[in-house]
Amino acid sequence: MKISVVIPAYNEERAIENCFKSIRENKYENYEIIVVDAGSKDRTVEISERYADKVIKAKTDSPGPARNIGVKNAKGEIVAFTDADTIVSPNWLELIARDFSNPEIIAVGGVLKPKHPRWIDRIMFKINSDLFYRFTALFGFYQLATPNCAYRKNIFLQVGGFDESLSMLEDTELSIRVRKYGKMMIDKNLWVLNSTRRFKQEGYVRMFLRYIRAYLNLFFRREVKLKHFDIIRH
């Protein structure tokens, strides 16, 4: 089973090499790495070309369109997503392959842990990126966060991929559309270390309010305005 790992990137020279190294440390061998660069002005492309199987340059305003481009260029039956500032676990690819060995599973999500944990980071990530996701899954509402999720490529393409009009919660919106096509799951053993830089920069209260507004916009089908890639990623 070939897994295509898709990573959107914009000015990530300080973080992306560690992401690549964490993927390369996995023992699972049947995979490829695809980076979709949104016009980086630093050494992101140069570093990516040393590690990735494909580096695609595409002017995109947000990560959703970049991920869609990556999937269209993927060779794997499974497309896995992570972020340039994320560290995947040593058995990340192996667990994804194991989960998809069940032919009924069409999408898998995991747990986000803070990369540089302060006590507030550990608490907030535990609530927002672990307990909340697993709680909503009990009601059939799986939220597969893009730093740590994977889909069968044929299903992903069948539903049209990420909604490119959204700059936030495009992963949640995709999860809602995909669930009618088969079984989804949250694998609590599938974890990644996710950057806390956005929370440190904006503060947890402001980020929490942004997400509340985005959820309301999503469920009432109001437009979520696009912001430039570097604002979203940082």
Q: Specify whether the CB–CB gap between 192 and 98 falls below 8 A.
A: no
Task: Give the percent of the chain with pLDDT over 90.
Answer: 60
Regarding the domain delimited by 3-233, which CATH topology (the fold level of the hierarchy) does it fall under? Spore Coat Polysaccharide Biosynthesis Protein SpsA; Chain A (3.90.550)
Q: Which amino acid type is present at position 21?
A: K
pLDDT tens-digit profile of 47-71?
999 999 999 999 888 899 999 999 9
pLDDT tens-digit profile of 94-123?
999 999 999 999 999 998 998 877 777 788
One-character DSSP codes across 26-76: SS--SEEEEEEE---SSSHHHHHHHH-SEEEE---SSHHHHHHHHHHT--S
Residue 214 pLDDT exceeds 60? yes
Compute the Cα dihedral for 27, 29, 34, 35 and give only its sign.
positive
Query: Which region holds residue 113: left if phi is over 0, alpha if psi is between -120 and 50, else beta?
Result: beta
